[in-house]
Amino acid sequence: MNIKEVEYYVSLSEEKSFSNVAKKYHVSQPTVSAAIKRLETEFGSQLLVRGNPHRAITLTHTGRQLLSHAREIRYHYRLAKTEIDNSERQRLVVGMPPIIETNYFPKIAKQLSTKALMSIQTIEEGSIAALNDLKTGALDISFLGYIGQVTDQLIEVKQIDQQPFTILTAADSRLARQKKVGFADLKNQNFILFKDSFVHDRVFRQLATVNQIRPTVVFRTNAAQSIVNMVAQGIGLGFLTNAIKITDPRIVRVPLADSPQPLFKIGLAWRHGMVFSEPQEKIMNVLKMF
């Protein structure tokens, strides 16, 4: 069994058509058919239900068994290709949620050499998207913002910090004079939030569900400063973790009175079992010590 046969087989299970797979890989249809035949010979079992050529292809029971393993083989092969390529290029591809890039990474960067900094390629995206890209191999490592625990068996995480969530309001608002506020008391308020690829959105929805309310979200953005500016104008309230530092005098942070309160955790994540090159390992050691 070679990797091309695995690629053809997994694609055939998805495309349900020999001709579509042939077009996808720019090969002839007999080439794909021969590859599948070789797999059937190697495993001593019929993998496909063959019949009407006008009907979509289906897998036999043993075909489905092989498929689960073939997907794993393809996944790890692609990971290996990406990891080795990045290692050869002396590059470390790092997922960087904007919150962490702005509020944490400058302190970390101070501990790195110029050469190490130049070898880091950052991908700016929210934590949910970053976690997915880490699993697919698009990232070598990633900083993450998360709540609870990251329980994915493919991922290892070292926690760096944790901070509570607070409500942002304009300094001249009535809410700014309160020492605390219950989330349920905000049911009639408008909110400006991060987009749904951020952990903030998940926590906001959890609080709304627990308190059985449906606050109105009037605007979503990727930028914390946009939230701050719109809150300062009285357009709505913000919902941000204290991990995001705000010094704008037009804004007041009001702690939540809810108990228990969700905590925004910041961590460094990597794939379980990943083997780093020596330059990558040196960078990882610095990041882990932060």
CA-angle at 248, arms to 252 and 122, nearest 5°: 110
Q: What is the rounded CA–CA span in Å between residue 109 and residue 122?
A: 12
36 and 58 fall within a common domain = yes
176 and 254 fall within a common domain = yes
109 and 224 fall within a common domain = no
124 and 169 fall within a common domain = no
Q: Hey, what long-range contacts does 154-158 have (CB within 8 A, 24 or more apart)?
A: 154/271, 154/272, 155/131, 155/269, 155/270, 155/271, 155/272, 156/269, 156/270, 156/271, 156/272, 157/267, 157/268, 157/269, 158/267, 158/268, 158/269, 158/288
CATH number at residue 130: 3.40.190.10
Q: By residue range, what is the domain housing residue 278?
A: 92-160+265-289
CATH number at residue 176: 3.40.190.290
**Could you read off the pLDDT tens digit of each residue along the chain, which spans 290 residues?**
899 999 999 999 999 889 999 999 999 999 999 999 999 999 999 999 876 666 778 899 999 999 999 998 998 888 888 888 877 777 899 999 888 898 899 999 999 999 999 999 999 988 888 999 998 888 999 999 999 888 888 899 999 999 999 999 999 999 999 999 999 999 999 999 998 878 899 899 999 999 999 999 999 998 899 999 999 999 999 999 999 999 999 999 999 999 888 899 999 999 988 889 888 999 998 988 87
275 and 154 fall within a common domain = yes
201 and 284 fall within a common domain = no
181 and 236 fall within a common domain = yes
12 and 73 fall within a common domain = yes
153 and 165 fall within a common domain = no
* Number of domain units in the chain: 3
pLDDT at 75: 85
pLDDT at 142: 95
Report, in this order, helix, strand and coil percent for the chain, each rounded to 5. 45, 25, 30
pLDDT at 262: 87
In the chain, DSSP assigns E strands to 48-49, 58-59, 92-95, 120-123, 141-146, 155-170, 190-194, 216-221, 237-241, 251-255, 263-271
Of the three residues 61, 88, 115, the one that is the final residue of a domain is 88
pTM of the model: 0.71
Of the three residues 88, 117, 147, the one that is the final residue of a domain is 88
**Residue 215 near residue 209, CB atoms below 8 Å:** no
Q: What is the rounded CA–CA span in Å between residue 210 and residue 213?
A: 8
pLDDT at 51: 66
280 and 148 fall within a common domain = yes
First-to-last alpha carbon distance for the chain, in angstroms, is 45
193 and 143 fall within a common domain = no
* Of 111, 88, 102, the residue nearest 283 (C-alpha): 111
Cβ neighbours, 10 Å, residue 182: 12
**Residue 77 near residue 70, CB atoms below 8 Å:** no
29 and 47 fall within a common domain = yes
CATH number at residue 75: 1.10.10.10
pLDDT at 54: 66
Of the three residues 27, 58, 88, the one that is the final residue of a domain is 88
**Residue 131 near residue 84, CB atoms below 8 Å:** no
Is cis: bond before 260, omega within 30 of 0? yes
